[in-house]
């Protein structure tokens, strides 16, 4: 069974696409961003400093979490996760866990920022899902409002751009498409259209392997 890597920036739709691919192919799915959010939640709960790499690394210890925990999706936790993900020590601490998932017998789908370049460079299918910052900000704003949170478009857009900058310029495992990744721009696609195109591209890549 295949290993499928789905990468891309925040609010590009990669999580939705990855879950759909996992369901379609009957594969286990890992949202690797939740690992970083779990570390961030640990750090946030005991008042650690996201600017301190040593404290962020301590928050990786004994990492156990419930993927359904709504606290993992708090904007404050998301912001901390983005900041601590630049630390080489934090990335190294979570690397083995992600690679073990990717290498499990029977295949897997993983989504994140460095799946196709670092975690599973030999993946059978690599998708890099993207969209314009403006479109991604609109999506994130709707998501926040659906949770009853007050937010302003300008603030959300600024946050999206700041995350893009951190993700793409960090020294370790920067966000970028793998050389053999298929780039899927979802700027003008609805969720159903993006999923359909991702499935088509994945099937096409697997058929040509």
**Domains of the chain: which residue ranges?**
3-208
Dihedral sign, CA of 70, 91, 130, 6? negative
Average pLDDT for 169-180: 93
Whole-number Å distance between alpha carbons of 60 and 33: 14
Which residues lie below 8 Å from residue 40, measured CB to CB, with a gap of 6+?
Answer: 50, 59, 77, 78, 80, 81, 84
Residue 153's pLDDT is 96
Residue 62's pLDDT is 81
Whole-number Å distance between alpha carbons of 128 and 177: 6
Which residues lie below 8 Å from residue 55, measured CB to CB, with a gap of 6+?
Answer: 43, 48, 49
Residue 103's pLDDT is 95
pLDDT score of 209 more than 80: no
Helix-helix angle 14-25:191-208, to 10 degrees: 50
Residue 106's pLDDT is 94
pLDDT tens, 127-157? 999 999 999 999 999 998 998 888 999 999 9
Of 15-24, 72-81, 104-113, 184-193, which gets the smallest average pLDDT? 72-81
Residue 68's pLDDT is 87
Average pLDDT for 15-38: 96
pLDDT tens, 46-95? 899 999 999 999 999 988 888 889 899 888 898 899 999 999 999 999 99
Mean pLDDT of the chain: 94
Q: Which of 156, 148, 159, 139 is nearest to 70 (CA)?
A: 148
pLDDT score of 20 more than 80: yes
Residue 195's pLDDT is 98
Q: Is the pLDDT higher at 64 or at 106?
A: 106
In degrees rounded to 5, what are phi and psi of residue 27? -115, 150
Superfamily of domain 3-208, CATH level 4? P-loop containing nucleotide triphosphate hydrolases (3.40.50.300)
Residue 74's pLDDT is 86
pLDDT score of 175 more than 90: yes
8 Å CB contact between 90 and 53: yes
Q: Is 31 helix (H, G, I), strand (E, B) or coil?
A: strand
């Amino acid at each position: 069974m295949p290993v499928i890597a789905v990468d891309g920036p925040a609010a590009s739709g990669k999580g939705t696409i990855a879950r759909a691919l996992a369901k379609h192919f009957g594969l286990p799915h890992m949202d690797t961003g939740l690992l970083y959010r779990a570390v961030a939640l640990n750090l946030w709960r005991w008042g650690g400093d996201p600017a301190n790499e040593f404290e962020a690394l301590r928050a990786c210890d004994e990492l156990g979490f419930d993927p359904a925990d709504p606290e993992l999706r708090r904007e404050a936790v998301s912001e901390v996760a983005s900041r601590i993900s630049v630390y080489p020590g934090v990335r190294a601490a979570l690397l083995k866990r992600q690679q073990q998932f990717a290498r499990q017998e029977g295949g897997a789908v993983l989504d994140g920022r460095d799946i196709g370049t670092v975690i599973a460079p030999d993946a059978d299918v690599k998708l890099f899902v993207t969209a314009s910052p403006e479109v991604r900000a609109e999506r994130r704003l709707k998501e926040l409002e659906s949770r009853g949170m007050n937010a302003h478009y300008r603030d959300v857009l600024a946050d999206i751009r700041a995350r893009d900058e951190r993700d793409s310029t960090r020294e370790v495992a920067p966000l970028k498409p793998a050389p053999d990744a298929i780039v899927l721009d979802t700027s003008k696609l609805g969720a159903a259209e993006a999923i359909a195109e991702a499935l088509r591209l994945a099937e096409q890549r697997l058929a040509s392997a």
